[in-house]
Chains A and B, each alone.
Chain A
Amino acid sequence: MTDKLKIVVVDDNTELRMLIRLTLEFSEHLLLEAENADTGLELIQQHRPDIVLLDVMMPGEMNGLELCQRIKNTAELSHIKVIMLSAKGQKTDIEKGQECGADAYVVKPFSPTELMQLLAIDLDFAGT
């Protein structure tokens, strides 16, 4: 198996965070959670994850797009793969995500297993 990946999910929706957590339980990777962009940024700076799953509309000072921009504009963080998870699915929204440097833009609702395929993460539902 591959090395363990560090993944951070930043979303104000508790259920969605739980969905990601439950899904990743079928892999061996490590998940860290934040419910808004500010705490998400702290978490990312602290743990230097490999992947960040980022909601767009969140309460607080910063939204997901801004956080993405911060990550990509910070030299030591810019290598992190940023996946936007957003309920805003219009063309202009996706373009905004690209402008901010996001590596992928996934529109809600999405299939958790397909998301993991996108991240090249294997899920073992057999329960080995």
Chain B
Amino acid sequence: MPLFLSRHSPKFIALITFIGSLSVGLWLTQEFHRNIELREQRYLDQIAHAAAASIERKINKSVALTQIMVSQLELMGPEKVTRDFETIAARLLQDSSDIETTLGLAPGGILKKLYPLTGTQAVSGLKLVNNDLGADDTVWAPEHEQLILSGPYELLSGGTGVVGLNPVFLGEGQNRYFWGSIMMLLKLEDIVNNKVLNQFNTSGLVIQLFHIDKTSGRSTFFYSSDETPKADYIDHTITIPNGEWRIRVFSNQLPHSMAAAMIWTIFSALVLTFFAARLAGQPQELRLRVREKTAQLLAHDRFLNDMLKSLPVGIVVTDMSGRVRYQNPLFSKVIAHRVSENDSILDILDETVTDRSLGVFLGQRIGHKAENFGILLEMKHGLELQVDCSWVRTEQESVLVWVFRDVTEITSMNRTLRNVSATRADMLKLIPDAMVYFNKKGDVIEVNPAFRELFSGVIKDMSSFSCTEFERVLLSHAENTEKFTSLCGQSLLLGRASEMDSSMPFSDEVVITLDKRTVFERTVRFDHKSSVVGSIMHFRDVTASRDVDRMKTEFLSTAAHELRTPMANIFGYTELLIKAQFDKQKQDELLNIIFNQTRRLSAILDDLLDLARIEARAGEAFKFDFHDVAQLVSDSIREQEIELSKHKLTVSIEQDIGQIWCDAEKLMQVIENILSNAAKYSEDNTDIELAAISAGDGQRDGIEIKVTDSGAGMSEADRNRIFERFYRADTTGKIPGTGLGMSIVKEIVSHHQGLIDILSKPGEGTTVKVWIPRTPTAKTVTVPDNA
């Protein structure tokens, strides 16, 4: 870009360009035209010369021919001419066929004046003279030997001359004489219409043909395609025998082409101006843009400044050694310390943070001219600040930008959130109920361990299954599908249970059976500000409680049955004794039955109460202590003395068997019940052996008490049912018993964390082995009273 352009306004540049280009254009146009003019003039000159020469030649030729004809006529003599004029004229005309006219010419060649006659009109000299029409001329013609012509032909205005075909006679009567015959006429029309002149017309040239009177100097135009006088023209003189004509040629094209050139010049100048203006405008635009950009940058700078001031964080900029260069207003507030320029940030922090070692840490970091870092500071004024330090390198220098954010609330919230989250996770782990948490789209978010366990058989991929997929599984296992409401899709939005309601009975929910386990399902939906955020499906394994319910019902039914049977006898026999008369012997028999049935009833009630007590208090009422095994065994045997009296009892107790941790009374009941069964289910006088030995179970030390009889024994089916309440191997009713003895044994042994084993074959007797750990276990330590 030339320098001067940049210093002037584009308008000025445009003006200069316009004037310059216009001047140059005009000068060039003029020069160009001058050149064209010169050439044109030469061209016109040639044309005019050619035209003049052509016309001159024609006229001269006509004149020459006329002269020839006239002289021939004169040679023939007037009489002959007069007589044979027609023939002669025809022959002459024929001879001069290259002349474009058929007209004759007067002897002078050129007419002075023309008189228009038509048809075959003829004029005689006198008549001619007398005729008003050119009388003077008629006199004048012979005198001056100049022809004044009339004739049968119409003459064209401005023509060179006409001579009538008819002869011209002068004089009257005998004096009348033939003056001449005009054979030829050069018609001006023919001259101007000739090819040369036509060419001028077609090439756009203007051509004028005129005669200049020598005396008067007046011009008489014969022909002009445009009479407008022009400055630039070419004249050529055509010399005819009796005068002089002039042919003038000029062109009208020049001004038009000049105008076009002018227009073109102006247009070109405008175009140039336009481009010049644009070119000149560019630096101007650049200047504007620079100004605009600068304004923008300034605004941005202001904005940044305002932002730094208004940001809810403390910002401080230090040099690399930690000297404060800039601080925003909030910084001193956040750290609760007045800060001036050039203060050391490390000193400031040393004074304000609780742990001074942090300052040392920061010092080290700065010393390393280090990478960016962040640190959480506990301030003396109680806030927790997150400090982020960034190393900013500019072209001039390096600085450290420190951002101090008050994160007290966030940190405390995070801590709470973490606690809540951890608690929740632990709760989910500990809860025995299965839980699955869906988001509002129905994708599974989380399942707890109980859920994994419960559904491991039916769900392949625990990490991602959809709500619909899961519900299909549930439905296929549900007992009461009519209670099932889909959680997925629409119903998720509508919800089923809008809030957790712990009182909601599970029995109202869907019952699902999975792998022999019965589960109730309940759904809880979570709302947040009336939009669903997710839902939980909750499953409780109710197999055990249902089993307990069922067992209770069965037990009640069986217990009632067992109580009603002796009662029926007591009732019936008593009624008979009251209503009927029996002899003494019969009375005694009946009373005996009543007595036995009453005793049986009482025994059943005792056993039932025992069992109920043990069960209800889950062993808590047990009074554990160390007891001597030998003593326990011998006490038990003594209690069963009567029942065992008919059998041969062998007792072997290991030497120094020592003590055992047990409830003595309960363990004696175990031994007694087993001994009682052995006695009842074996024939009189058969052997019963009791052995007590020390025996470990592999891990623990313990003792084993083994009772073997050689009685009826039992089938495997019986053995499997032996611990069932009221189950009795004897169905004859001959062997007394409540059917609760072994149930009680089992309960007591289990509360001692012991084991029981029964070996038996029908007809071969039965062996019952009871193993009790010798020392306390976690569950057999007596629970303190205040528990």
A residues near B, CB below 8 A?
Answer: 12-16, 18-19, 22-23, 26, 57, 59-60, 87-90, 93, 107-113, 125, 127
Contacts and interface: CB of A to CB of B under 8 A. Distances in A.
Contact of B568 (A12, A57, A59, A87): A87
Given A59-B731, A88-B557, A108-B564, A26 B580 contact: yes
Given A15-B597, A19-B576, A110 B560 contact: no
Contact of B733 (A12, A93, A127): A12
Contacts of A60: 731
B575 A111 contact: yes
Residue in B570, B576, B597, B732 with the greatest tally of chain A CB atoms within 10 Å? B576
B703 to A, nearest CB: 37
A16 B561 contact: no
B565 interface: yes
B593 A15 contact: yes
B568 A109 contact: yes
Contacts, number: 74
A108 B565 contact: yes
B104 to A, nearest CB: 166
Contacts of A13: 565, 568-569, 733
B572 A88 contact: no
Closest 8 CB pairs of A and B: A59-B731, A108-B568, A109-B571, A87-B564, A109-B568, A87-B561, A19-B572, A109-B567
B569 A15 contact: yes
A16 B569 contact: yes
Contacts of B326: none
Contact of B560 (A12, A22, A23, A87): A87
Contacts of A18: 593
Contacts of B338: none
B579 interface: yes
Interface string B527-570: 00000000000000000000000000000010011111101111
A19 B564 contact: no
Which of B560, B568, B570 gathers most chain A CB within 10 Å? B568
Given A16-B569, A109-B568, A109-B571, A88 B561 contact: yes
Given A87-B565, A88-B557, A127-B580, 4 more contacts: A15-B593, A87-B561, A109-B568, A113-B575
Contact of B580 (A88, A90, A125): A125
A26 B582 CA distance: 11
B174 interface: no
Nearest to B572: A19
B581 A111 contact: no
A87 B557 CA distance: 9
Nearest to B731: A59
A12 B563 CA distance: 15
A21 B579 CA distance: 15
B214 to A, nearest CB: 168
B565 A89 contact: no
A127 B579 CA distance: 11
Contact of B571 (A14, A59, A110): A110
Interface in B718-776: 731-733
A109 B557 contact: no
B506 interface: no
B576 A23 contact: yes
29 contacts: A12-B733, A13-B733, A15-B597, A16-B565, A16-B569, A18-B593, A19-B568, A19-B569, A22-B590, A26-B580, A59-B731, A87-B561, A88-B560, A88-B561, A89-B560, A93-B557, A108-B564, A108-B567, A109-B568, A109-B569, A109-B570, A109-B572, A110-B572, A111-B571, A111-B572, A113-B575, A125-B579, A125-B580, A127-B581
A33 to B, nearest CB: 14
Contact of A16 (B560, B562, B568, B579): B568
Nearest to A115: B572
B765 to A, nearest CB: 22
A93 B557 CA distance: 10
B233 interface: no
Contacts of B581: 125, 127
B573 interface: yes
A18 B568 CA distance: 12
Contacts of A108: 564-565, 567-568
A12 B565 CA distance: 11
Contacts of A15: 569, 573, 593, 597
Contacts of A107: 564
Nearest to B594: A15
B17 to A, nearest CB: 120
Nearest to B573: A19
